[in-house]
Amino acid sequence: MSTLSLIIKQIINALQLGSIFALIALGYSMVYGIIRLLNFAHCDIIMVGAYISWYFMTNFANMPYLAVAAAIFGCTLLGVAIEKVAYTPLRGSPRISLLITAIGVSYLLENTAQLWLGAAAKSVPPFFKVTTLSFMGLSVSTTSVVTIAVVTVSMTALTLLVQKTKMGRAMRAVSEDSQTAQLMGTNINATISFTFAIGSALAGIGSVLYCCAYNQASPTMGSMLGLKAFVAAVLGGIGSIPGAIVGGFVIGLTEVFVSSIGLSTWKDAVVFLILIIVLLVKPTGLLGKQVNEKV
Amino acid sequence: MLKVDNINVYYDNIHAIKNLSFEVMDGEIVTLIGANGAGKSTTLKTISGLLRTKTGGIQFMGEELKSTAPHKIVAKGLVQVPEGRRMFQNLTVEENLEMGAFTMPPNEIPDLKDDIFRRFPRLSERRKQVAGTLSGGEQQMLAMGRALMSRPKLLMLDEPSMGLAPLLVDQVFGIIAEMHSSGVTILLVEQNASMALAVADRGYVLETGKIVLSGSGKELRESDQVKKAYLGG
């Protein structure tokens, strides 16, 4: 294989990994944007999504669409339920209470999964027959192509939703100034729930794509994936949707690059090094805005 | 039209509004004047449902609003322009106006927007600009335009003249008079007592959460107490 095709192959790998990070980072960023909460339970929603995929693919192997739909729907429902049960009662409490609750919900989900389904990873059957496409001397797996395509479509849809619809406008308004948004007649509870629903649906899509790539589900799978997506969100500028996308791809590229030069054991360390550097040099992230706290 | 009946509002342990009652009749301009911290904005926030009263009630066109959600209060035609204008800085002028029409049927929005752009040609020129780039005066126009997008029956304005140059203050009061003549009832909260009392039919003077004086605009302007405390002698 020539050097060029090797590089292109690695770039495709990076895009695949980066697009999963970006999808998950969006969930962190959207929720942070609207209620200023780092929703640490977000990564475990992905884990639940992976288990839903596992359940349906194991029991109804000939209906992959059912598994995909169930995973996305299940994640959406779970995200909204967490918001209603755990976060809504704390509206108006100090932010630290919300943060601690989020960490609590995260542990609750992980440990419930472990107790119920065991600590060992379950193998998720493939959703579709993975083949290798050859194109001008390059070989690319269909998983990469599907992942990149699905993420591109999801992000386009999200951008249109946020920029062009009434609900999207309400989301942006609430995230900027929730009190004034209420004075315009926005139902703030509905807007927040909607944001959680969208963020969690993206996590659901992410969980399916993760299963496509790695074929397994385990109770703690969300934590490393979620942490890296969180780094991606901070790198891009937490609260910013384009920032989350850019951050996701940068983290994906970094991981693949570090692995491909033979330092794969260092890849996690490098990602967290990026977090430290961002927080020291530009805490608002690449595309984040300096927000003036309201008095 | 609006009847505030014996409300008491607290911020944790601070008793901000004490047994406050007042009324706004259909077609009036009523003003609440008072110094900083007298409880003027707190009163408006309570009427809009952002804060809750412990006692009494708030009736708007015969309906009790005491425990109605803020967005439902807006839908009834009781709309507030908050203190400090509070534009959505990252949204365009046009999007800010669309936010103002949040409770309106979508097919009416283009007409409502055209109407605001006719009233404020300056906003029309800047419709695609984000609101954060507007000047203070333009932001105040946008704030009032945004509130008019919901066809309010009663408009509550919180310190519309704050931070504006004298020429712009005159302009803002001109717009208030114009809105009033187009049939909107107005509850005006102001520190600029002389301007407020000049346009108001009636007024109330608020001090540390209580009404200490009330009367017609003319009566209040001529009262020694008001002259001394709010009109500079």
B137 within domain boundaries: no
B154: β partners: B78, B185
Residue B71: which of A176, A182, A289 has the nearest Cβ? A182
pLDDT at res. B35: 86
Q: Are strands A138-141 and A132-135 parallel, antiparallel or unpaired?
A: antiparallel
Please, how many CA atoms are within 13 Å of residue A254, restricted to the half-sphere of its CB?
Answer: 22
Domain that holds residue A188: 3-281
B222 within domain boundaries: yes
Using an 8 Å Cβ cutoff, are A203 and A49 in contact? Answer: yes
- Name the phi and psi angles at A163, rounded to 5: -90, -30
Residues 74-93 of B with CB under 8 A from A: 74-75, 79-80, 82, 86, 88-91
Taking phi over 0 as left and psi of -120 to 50 as alpha, with beta for the rest, B216 belongs to beta
Instruction: Please give the tally of structural domains in chain B.
Output: 1
The residue among A184, A186, A240 with the most chain B CBs within 10 A of its CB, best to mutate, is: A184
Task: List, in order, residues 6 or more apart from A169 with CB less than 8 Å away.
Answer: B91, B95, B98, B99
Instruction: Please give the tally of structural domains in chain A.
Output: 1
- Averaged pLDDT, B59-79: 94
Give burial (CB, 10 Å; 0-12/13-18/19+) of A123.
Answer: middle
Answer whether A187 sits within 8 Å of B71, measured CB to CB.
yes
Answer whether B102 sits within 8 Å of A176, measured CB to CB.
no
Shortest CA gap A277–chain B (Å) = 28
What's the rounded Cα separation, in Å, for the pair B160 and B84? Answer: 8
Q: Which two tokens stand for residue B77?
A: 């035609």
A292 within domain boundaries: no
What's the rounded Cα separation, in Å, for the pair A243 and A250? Answer: 10
- Name the phi and psi angles at A126, rounded to 5: -65, 145
A64 within domain boundaries: yes
Answer whether B90 sits within 8 Å of A172, measured CB to CB.
yes
pLDDT at res. A1: 59
Under DSSP, the state recorded for B130 is B
CA dihedral B95, B96, B97, B98 (to 10 degrees): 50
Domain that holds residue B51: 2-86+151-230
A295 within domain boundaries: no
Q: Which two tokens stand for residue A117?
A: 């389904």
Q: Name the pTM for this structure.
A: 0.90
A212 within domain boundaries: yes
Task: List, in order, residues 6 or more apart from A164 with CB less than 8 Å away.
Answer: none
pLDDT-flagged residues of chain A (< 50): 293-295
Task: List, in order, residues 6 or more apart from A222 with CB less than 8 Å away.
Answer: A43, A44, A45, A46, A47, A110
User: What CATH number has the domain bearing residue B66?
Assistant: 3.40.50.300
pLDDT at res. A107: 95
pLDDT at res. A291: 57
Using an 8 Å Cβ cutoff, are B169 and B120 in contact? Answer: no
Shortest CA gap A20–chain B (Å) = 28
Task: Round the CA-based radius of gyration of chain B to a whole number and report it.
Answer: 17
What's the rounded Cα separation, in Å, for the pair A231 and A233? Answer: 5
- Averaged pLDDT, B135-160: 93
Tell me the pLDDT band of B28, cut-offs 50, 70 and 90: very high
B124 within domain boundaries: no
Q: Are strands B14-24 and B63-64 parallel, antiparallel or unpaired?
A: unpaired
User: Which chain A residue has the Cα nearest residue B76?
Assistant: A185
Using an 8 Å Cβ cutoff, are A36 and A92 in contact? Answer: no
Those residues of chain A whose CB sits closer than 8 Å to some CB in chain B are 166, 169-170, 172-173, 176-177, 179-188, 289
B113 within domain boundaries: no
Using an 8 Å Cβ cutoff, are A69 and A46 in contact? Answer: no
What's the rounded Cα separation, in Å, for the pair B19 and B14? Answer: 14
Scored b (16 or more CB within 10 A) or e, B162-200 reads: bebeeebbebbbebbeebbeeebbbbbbbbbbebbbebb
Percent of chain B with pLDDT over 90: 79
Alpha helices in chain A (DSSP H): 3-35, 42-59, 64-82, 95-117, 142-164, 166-176, 178-183, 188-214, 221-236, 241-260, 267-281
Biggest CA–CA distance in chain B, Å, is 53
Give burial (CB, 10 Å; 0-12/13-18/19+) of B63.
Answer: exposed
What's the rounded Cα separation, in Å, for the pair A231 and A122? Answer: 27
DSSP assignment of A212-266, as one string? HHH-EE-TTHHHHHHHHHHHHHHHH-TT-HHHHHHHHHHHHHHHHHHHHTT-GGG
Using an 8 Å Cβ cutoff, are B97 and B149 in contact? Answer: yes
B104 within domain boundaries: no
pLDDT at res. B137: 87
Using an 8 Å Cβ cutoff, are B8 and B53 in contact? Answer: yes
Task: Round the CA-based radius of gyration of chain A to a whole number and report it.
Answer: 19
User: What CATH number has the domain bearing residue A182?
Assistant: 1.10.3470
What's the rounded Cα separation, in Å, for the pair A167 and A161? Answer: 8
Residue B80: which of A177, A183, A187 has the nearest Cβ? A183
B59 within domain boundaries: yes
What's the rounded Cα separation, in Å, for the pair A107 and A102? Answer: 9
B19 within domain boundaries: yes
Listed residue (B233, B229, B231, B232) closest to B207, CA to CA: B229
B224 within domain boundaries: yes
Residue B87, pLDDT above cutoff 70: yes
pLDDT at res. A79: 97
Mean pLDDT over each residue of chain B, to the nearest integer: 92
Please, how many CA atoms are within 13 Å of residue A293, restricted to the half-sphere of its CB?
Answer: 2
pLDDT at res. B136: 87
Task: List, in order, residues 6 or more apart from B175 with CB less than 8 Å away.
Answer: B119, B141, B144
- Name the phi and psi angles at A105, rounded to 5: -60, -40
